[in-house]
Structure 1
Amino acid sequence: MKKRKLGNSDLWVTELGLGCMSIGTEEKAAREIIETALDEGINYFDTADLYDFGVNEKIVGVALKEVREQVILATKVGNRWMPDKTGWSWDPSKSHIMEAVKQSLKRLGTDYIDLYQLHGGTIEDHIDETIEAFEELKSAGYIRCYGISSIRPNVIREYVKKSNIDSVMMQYSILDRRPEEEALPLLHEHGISVVTRGPLAKGLLSDKMLEKVFQKGYQDYSQKELLEVLPVLKDKLASDRSFTEIALQYNLAHPAVASVIAGASSPEQVRSNARAVTSKTLTKEELSFIKKLSKANVYKDHR
């Protein structure tokens, strides 16, 4: 599996990363998914302290212990579970980040994190304080590089201007092209990599697409529009290949994108996603067709 450089760091991540949120808490099943990812050549594993109250980090850490030096381990910070675990609050403060990283390192069973990401963010945050925390952790060797997980253009601009982030994780797909207008060009210009999530748009961009069409639609597509657009895309582009291939290759076609993070709840899903990223790339004509048929939507909310 091909690798791409992550921002200005010295990390090279595989074009497909495993989003670990969906691997579950049954350790044997979760480990089988992770081991399948390793067998497929994936070196990039993404978790967060928020997932399953930290249990996800523990499972990932144990599963990757024997290959720790060969993989890129990414986790996230910024959300604090309430004592009764009924919800969480947002806390991007330096004090929280400096304490939370210790707990993540302990759960992951490692003495460093390759990519530490802010798990959200708003323009009202004390961004300078957050950046200071990440820079100190980097200088101390607890993290190798840092980034943010955000779809907010105004927040992204602030981090581009003020910080040394190497990556931004954001939702991006054929049905959610909002990053194309503002975020992707800006990040590419500054050598900051994009890591995409949600490439299959909740299954709408898979071979089970019509089973996944929701009555309420998706993003700014109505149910009626989805039922019109999806079959045309499939007939035109996926007559001899899976639609998952089309979806993941669309993400990888943008020069700002370093890796596509896809979740998996079974080994077969991992294998399917791996086949998709190692398949043939989309042609200019295919990309043009996709852009003509789909919506060039933009960020109205979440600024």
Structure 2
Amino acid sequence: MKFRAIGSLQVSSLGLGCMGMSEYYGNQNEEEAIATLHHAVALGVNFFDTADQYGVGKNEELIGRALKSSRQDIHIATKFGFVRSDAGEVIGINGSPEYVKKACEASLKRLNTDYIDLYYLHRVDPRVPIEETVGAMKELVAEGKVRYIGLSEASPQTIERAHNVHPIAALQTEYSIWSRDIEEEILPLCRDLGISIVPYSPLGRGFLSGKIKSVDTLVENDYRRKTPRLQGDNLQQNLSLVQRLEDIAHNMNISASQLALAWLLANGEDLIPIPGTKKIPYLEENIAAIDIELPRDVKEFIDRTAPVGAAAGDRYPEHSMKLLDK
């Protein structure tokens, strides 16, 4: 395994996104998920990403049970901010200092641990000054309950304001060959401030793997069925983009997924992608991308083939886009 830094944490160059083990990507199989988590540890993965809202707490509980025996050897990142009912309905975003403390205590209990390695604000609460939210997170660090703090999907202005209150160790944000918007302002700013980037959905929610040709192939409860990029004319334009990437991958004798991950890893040592999977074969395929050296001419060709804004359609449905910090 190769490693990269988040603060003083030495994390595996690829982490494991655990969301799909409990929600969103179709049906779940806990036995299969636990086997995948254990296999990830065996392969040298030591960076696991979850959130209190994934499965309305069930994902954190899964991580807490499955990785208890490996706790001293791994780094757990979790997030707070989404407030959901017991039935799973999203009620809103809460970044109040009181909620920060309450959410952290609940996550510690579900994760069966007394500290969180990296604690993110999942979405910025527009009703609460970021200084107040981060101030409360800073207190968690002082109390030893959190080692490092991070933000998710935050604007440049929010990042700077937050960083003035307490060093932000990592920004989790969507970043992939078909979501390159952060390169314009956010990536340069984070590099100036020494903030690591943790790209989620580095495979475009699986689309960059080339395995999704139509939403009709997805099970009924897969949230990607409502993704704008997989609808109508958007889908056709995006399929054309993926086909070009598949051709490049074929010529290199690697998979399209491996190409997408190798491209991200080649963009800087401060990037730690967290591809999600609940299946061992996909985990092994993803981890193999760490050893792929992407030739400069190939990377430059991909950059030209899929420039900023190349993907057709928004990243999320309208209601979810409104939750992003602008």
Q: What TM-score does the superposition give when structure 2 sets the normalisation length?
A: 0.84
Paired residues for 1:104-119 under 5 Å:
104-119=107-122
Shift of 1:294: 1.1
Q: Deviations over 1:31-66 (max 9, x none)?
A: 111111112110001111111111111110111111
Higher mean C-alpha deviation, range 157-166 or range 287-296 = 157-166
CA 1:103 to 1:211, structure 2 compared with 1: closer, same or farther past 3 Å?
A: same
| 1:12 counterpart (10, 23, 27) | 10
CA contact (8 A) 1:251 1:257 kept: no
Paired positions, count: 299
CA distance in 1, matches of 2:75, 2:193: 22
Shift of 1:153: 3.4
Distance 1:176 1:231 in 2: 17
Once the two structures are aligned, what percentage of the paired residues are identical? Answer: 33
Please give the per-residue CA displacement for 1:174-214, whole angstroms capped at 9, x wherever unaligned.
11110111111110121110000111112221142545799
State how 1:171-186 maps to structure 2 within 5 Å. 171-186=174-189
In 2, Cα distance between equivalents of 1:46 and 1:217: 25
Displacement, 1:99?
A: 1.1
Task: Evaluate the alpha carbon distance shift between residue 139 and residue 216 of structure 1 in structure 2; reply closer, same or farther with a 3 A threshold.
Answer: closer
- Equivalent position SS for 2:149: strand
Aligned partners of 1:17 and 1:166: how far apart in 2?
16
What is the identity, as a one-letter code, of the residue corresponding to 1:297? G
Distance 2:250 2:159 in 1: 34
Answer yes or no: is the 8 Å Cα contact 1:20–1:46 preserved in 2. yes
Which 5+ residue runs of structure 1 have no aligned equivalent?
A: none
Provide the rounded CA distance (Å) in 2 between the counterparts of 1:296 and 1:200. Answer: 16
Instruction: Select the residue among 297, 300, 305 that pairs with 1:293.
Output: 305
> Distance between the aligned counterparts of 1:212 and 1:269, measured in 2?
20
Of stretches 173-182 and 204-213 in structure 1, the one that deviates more from structure 2 is 204-213
Change (3 A) 1:91 1:210: same
1:70 aligns with 2:68: no
The aligned counterpart of 1:264 is 277
Q: Tell me the distance in 1 between the aligned counterparts of 2:4 and 2:90.
A: 36
- Further displaced range: 207-216 or 107-116: 207-216
2:144 corresponds to 1:141: yes
* Mapping 1:183-262, distance limit 5 Å: 183-208=186-211, 210=213, 217=229, 222-239=234-251, 240-255=253-268, 257-262=270-275
Letter in 1 for 2:153: S
Matches of 2:296 and 2:261, distance apart in 1: 15
CA distance in 1, matches of 2:263, 2:131: 35
* Distance across 1 between alignment mates of 2:236 and 2:56: 38
Aligned amino acid, residue 281 of structure 2: E
Specify whether residues 161 and 286 from structure 1 end up closer, same or farther in structure 2 by C-alpha distance, changes over 3 A only.
farther
Task: For 1:131 and 1:196, locate their aligned partners in 2 and report how far apart those are by CA, in whole Å.
Answer: 21
Q: CA deviation at 1:223?
A: 3.2
8 Å Cα contact 1:151/1:171 also seen in 2: no
Secondary structure in 2 aligned to 1:52? coil
Q: Do the aligned partners of residues 193 and 228 (structure 1) sit closer, same or farther apart at CA in structure 2, a change above 3 Å counting?
A: same
Aligned with 2:160 (options 144, 157, 164): 157
Match of 1:94 in 2: 97
| Secondary structure of the structure 1 residue equivalent to 2:268 | coil
Unaligned runs of 5+ in 2: 23-27, 217-224, 315-320
Give the TM-score, by structure 1 length: 0.90
